[in-house]
Amino acid sequence: WGVCTNKLFYLAVPPNHFKDIFTHMARVGLNTPCGGDFGWTRVLIEKPFGRDLHTAKKLHTLLKKFFVDEQLYFIDHYLAKEIVQAITHFRFSNNIFETSWDKESIERITVRLLETIGAEDRGAFYDAVGAFRDVGQNHMLQMLSAVTMKYPRDMGASELRRRRAEIIDSLEPWTHKRIKEQTFRAQYKTYGNIEGITKNSDTETYIKLQTQLTHPSWAGVPIVLEAGKRMKESVKEVEVLFRHPALCVACTPDNHIHNKVVFKMEPDDKITIHFWTKVPGFEKKLEERTFTFFLYERSQKVQYVEEYAKLLFSAIAGDQSMFVSEQEIEAEWKFTDPVISAWRKNIVPLASYTPNTEEATQSAAHIGAEIMPKIPPIPKEMAIIGLGKMGANMAKRMMNQGWRVVGHNRTAESTNELIQEGLVPAYSIEEVIEALPKKKIIWLMVPSGKPVDDILFGKGGLTHYLRRGDIVIDGGNSFYEDSSKRAKKLQKYGITFLDVGTSGGPSGARHGACLMIGGKK
């Protein structure tokens, strides 16, 4: 028509049609802007963005022949969901949690996209991609990036996309061993009856994986990704579980509770903070309580309409913050490809489950089940040999913390002075051994050098009585080379040796010392 105007194209077609479409657009000049801020050309492109990293790169090479980055809007509609946007603002617009939002305070992150619906309405498409490509490679990683990305300098598109790409690219590379042990896939039993599904299809409809990030802020924190069709109930959420390294007030060793924050998108968009407080009344018991706030209440929900209204508005406004970048897409495929390749080789056999049951989740329960190894509780019993100013105050502190302390000193007077504090007196090494349980912990608070060696290896020393599995802690300021020699000697007996320099003087020993710990990691 010879009129310069804005042009917005929306492509929801298989990638193999892109070349023809873009070639014909370019032939008539529809791919280029016609003038300044008015007359722009922008293209919205639906996933899948290729089938793997190789085809994604080919797609990007093709697109660059016709468009510049500012014209391309790759759609992951989860970025337009209220709850995903709320995660970012919950973290970066409030100071309540962000200072504790890292590997030091968070024990595990779980992303769940479980649906009761199946693949019945899109059999041919779903069979070609499977659960991992359909939601794991994109939606779940974007949800994860919202929870873990580093504090952005601003909320502009360039900075947000850079931060998301940075964190996704830091996902730990897969190994054959990790794929075999930390991934699970399954298919619901009636899947093969759906129109468009290939005969004997091995496409997964349920996945569960455990991974982690190598980013310095998150290294070592287990991340669990779980998604599936025809599950017993619909659960779409991100759960952030906090560490609880110290036993809380009113907790018991067998009931070590945790706090958590849950970002949930179904059935309602809401954020729930789980915490613990005292049960009203006379008993000193705890109960779990929650702070829950809904982002807003829907009068009705029409799938995708809300998200796509935002996406179209953002594209018209030229805001790419809710669209994924080339770097994000390639980082997502880099993480996904090794798993899909291994599954196609049947390294992880395809399990099956009855639709709308818990069979799949139960079969995959071992993935991410034991995030932190269970350490048997250590009996709070130990001996302290050497009850001078440091040793005596250390004994008092341990007894105040509920430990049963057996005490021995070269002179009986120092031992007797602590009996009224609760010390179990021992007037010889042999009595120390007899007063301790089968598993023995002995803390030495004697001068460095020969006194330590005499107690360990001398006539009537500890090595004549201790057994394999017992622990000796040298709390004095021993020379490190002497400590190394002692550790090697004691290792022959099966005795664990720790060199724990204790700093802070008598006051520190009584109220909280600085401990410099050395030993086998």
Residues with catalytic roles: 139
* d(C-alpha 517, C-alpha 296), whole Å: 51
Q: Beta-carbon neighbour count of residue 133 at 10 Å?
A: 22
* d(C-alpha 202, C-alpha 208), whole Å: 16
In DSSP terms, 241 is beta-bridged to 108, 260
| Helix residue ranges, H only, 345-477 | 359-363, 389-400, 412-417, 429-435, 450-457
Locate tokens 């998200």: which residue?
A: 307
In DSSP terms, 164 is beta-bridged to none
Radius of gyration of the chain (CA): 31
Burial class of 93 by CB neighbour count within 10 A (0 to 12, 13 to 18, 19+)? exposed
325: left (phi over 0), alpha (psi -120 to 50) or beta: beta
In DSSP terms, 287 is beta-bridged to 277
* d(C-alpha 152, C-alpha 91), whole Å: 11
* Structure tokens, 189: 């039993």
Phi, psi angles (nearest 5°) of residue 185: -140, 150
Q: What is the DSSP letter of 78?
A: G
* d(C-alpha 191, C-alpha 199), whole Å: 10
